[in-house]
């Protein structure tokens, strides 16, 4: 049964989709796994055929995908994915991110996590980026192994189709401002690429174990975790002075909706006014770092039924220069490009429409 409609996106010169997901599986990645793990698995034979679910622990919720009502459940092959992005969403350039490997930060085995990051990056380049001109991608790194991550970044930085580094903040511990990650930030800053941060529902288990135990339904877990996880890591990054130590690093904060952004910028400024001694490395208020170094992707836009709400929120965090369209396709809560276009066009100048749909992303990702 067809899952496409016949309409096409019209209205702006160029559309960049800053968050599209591959749906990589065990079978996809294993051929790219290198080093001792590849040999170890080879010797294990068939009996460990189902190890993928052990390596990346899952929170175990009954998700909207599990009912079968949502028929879009995979990225498809490179040409199917391209057809959707170009024909249905009207996209000219897309940044591909992982699905399972967003959870690298809570893979228990540190060395394995680093090996999986390398395998994913090989798979990404080999299967999706090399053949499709519209596709670019984020290389993932293992937070557990900062020096291996830095080497991975150094190795990928010159690949023309790699336009960002995905720092897997989902379930990350300790939080992202900890100095153990400085080698990663240092390598990313050196590469000239932005650092992307993107969470997922299973990270709840690692970062918020009590809430995971208490939440028995997907809906409550998913509503909470994406912004909450960013709040943890952004507070940590700002308080511990990461943008001060790495002033040329751009942060791309993804997939948590919009309303929390102006709220949190203001809140951190208020906190800093009273507790500046807790952030002695900072030389300016938190909002100034957001102004200089932070960007946000749009999906999932909350409140599309109330366009004025969305426009006010965009304006409240300077989204005219900070917001970048993302679809999140093929995940269950993806946004069509038209949903954001209608809202932005209804309240901002043409230049803002161009910024949101391409200019800001072109600048941040440097395609």
Partner 1 sequence: MPEPTGDHHYAADLDELEGTDRLLTEVNGLEVAVFRVEDDLYAVSNYCVHQGGPACEGRVSGILTVDDEGELIYDRNGEIVSCPWHGWEFDIRTGEHLANPRYRLPTFDVLVHDGEIYIEW
Q: Which residues bind partner 1 (CB under 8 A)?
A: 1-5, 7, 64, 67-72, 305, 332-336, 338-339
Q: What is the closest distance, in whole angstroms, from the C-beta atom of residue 55 to partner 1 in the complex?
A: 28
Nearer to partner 1, 197 or 340 (CB): 340
The residue (of 250 and 335) whose beta carbon lies closer to partner 1 is 335
Give the shortest CB-76-to-partner 1 separation in angstroms.
14
Instruction: Report, in Å, the least distance between residue 304 CB and partner 1.
Output: 8
Shortest CB 350 distance to partner 1, Å: 23
What HEC string does the chain produce? Answer: CCCCCCCCCCCCCCCEEEEEECCCCHHHHHHHCCHHHHHHHHHHHHHHCCCHHHHCCCCCCCCHHHHCCCCCCCCCCHHHHHHHHHHHCCCCEEEEECCHHHHHHHCCCHHHHHHHHHHHHHHHHHHHHCCCCCEEEEEECCCCCHHHHHHHHHHHCCCCCEEEEECCCCCCCCCCCCHHHHHHHHHHHHHCCCEEECCCCCHHHHHCHHHHHHCCCHHHHHHHHHHHHHHHHHHHHHHCCHHHHCCCCCEEECCCCCCHHHHHHHHHHHHHHHCHHHCCCCCCCHHHHHHHHEEEECCCCCCCCCHHHHHHHHHHCCHHHHEECCCCCCCCCCCCHHHHHHHHHCCCCHHHHHHHHHHHHHHHHCC
Query: Which residue, 255 or 335, has its beta carbon nearer to partner 1?
Result: 335
Angstrom CA distances, 139 to 97, 101, 317, 337, stand at 8, 10, 28, 24
Q: Smallest gap, in angstroms, from Cβ of residue 305 to partner 1?
A: 7
Nearest-approach distance from CB 335 to partner 1, in angstroms = 7
Nearer to partner 1, 54 or 308 (CB): 308
Give 26 or 304: the residue with its C-beta nearer to partner 1.
304
CB of 200 to partner 1, least distance (A): 18
The residue among 307, 349, 294, 298 whose CA lies nearest residue 325 is: 298
Tokens 């208490």 label which residue?
214
CB of 1 to partner 1, least distance (A): 5
Least distance (Å) from partner 1 to the CB of residue 333?
7
Report the residue number, 4 or 108, with the smaller CB distance to partner 1.
4
3 vs 54 by CB, closer to partner 1: 3
Residues in the chain, total: 367
Q: With respect to partner 1, which residue has the nearer C-beta, 120 or 215?
A: 215
Residue 63 has which token pair?
């998700």
Nearer to partner 1, 57 or 76 (CB): 76
């Amino acid at each position: 049964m067809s899952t496409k409609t016949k309409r096409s996106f019209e209205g702006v010169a160029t559309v960049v989709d800053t968050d599209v997901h591959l749906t990589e599986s065990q079978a996809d990645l294993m051929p790219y796994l290198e080093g001792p793990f590849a040999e170890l698995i080879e010797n294990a034979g068939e009996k460990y055929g189902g190890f993928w679910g052990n390596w990346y622990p899952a929170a175990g919720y009954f998700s909207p995908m599990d009912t079968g009502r949502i028929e879009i459940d995979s990225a498809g092959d490179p040409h199917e994915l391209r057809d959707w992005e170009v024909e249905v969403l009207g996209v000219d350039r897309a940044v591909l991110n992982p699905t399972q490997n967003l959870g690298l930060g809570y893979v228990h085995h540190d060395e394995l996590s680093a090996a999986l990051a390398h395998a994913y990056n090989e798979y990404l380049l080999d299967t999706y980026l090399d053949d499709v001109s519209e596709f670019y991608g984020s290389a993932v790194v293992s937070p557990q192994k900062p020096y291996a991550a830095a080497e991975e970044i150094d190795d990928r930085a010159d690949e023309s189709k790699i336009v960002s580094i995905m720092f897997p903040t989902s379930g990350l511990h300790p939080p992202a401002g900890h100095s153990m990650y400085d080698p990663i930030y240092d390598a990313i800053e050196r590469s000239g690429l932005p650092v992307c941060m993107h969470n997922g529902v299973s990270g709840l288990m690692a970062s918020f174990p009590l809430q995971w135990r208490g939440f028995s339904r997907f809906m409550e877990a998913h509503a909470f975790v994406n912004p909450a996880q960013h709040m943890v890591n952004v507070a940590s990054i700002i308080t511990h002075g990461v943008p001060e130590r790495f002033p040329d690093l751009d942060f791309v904060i993804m997939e948590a909706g919009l309303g929390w952004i102006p709220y949190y910028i203001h809140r951190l400024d208020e906190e800093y006014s009273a507790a500046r001694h807790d952030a002695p490395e900072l030389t300016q208020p938190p909002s100034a770092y957001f102004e200089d170094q932070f960007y946000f992707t749009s999906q999932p836009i909350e409140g599309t039924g109330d366009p004025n709400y969305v426009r006010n929120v965009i304006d409240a965090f300077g989204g005219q220069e900070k917001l970048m369209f993302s679809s999140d396709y093929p995940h269950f809560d993806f946004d069509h490009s038209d949903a954001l276009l209608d809202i932005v066009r209804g309240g901002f100048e043409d230049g803002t429409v161009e910024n949101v749909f391409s200019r800001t992303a072109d600048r941040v990702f440097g395609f």
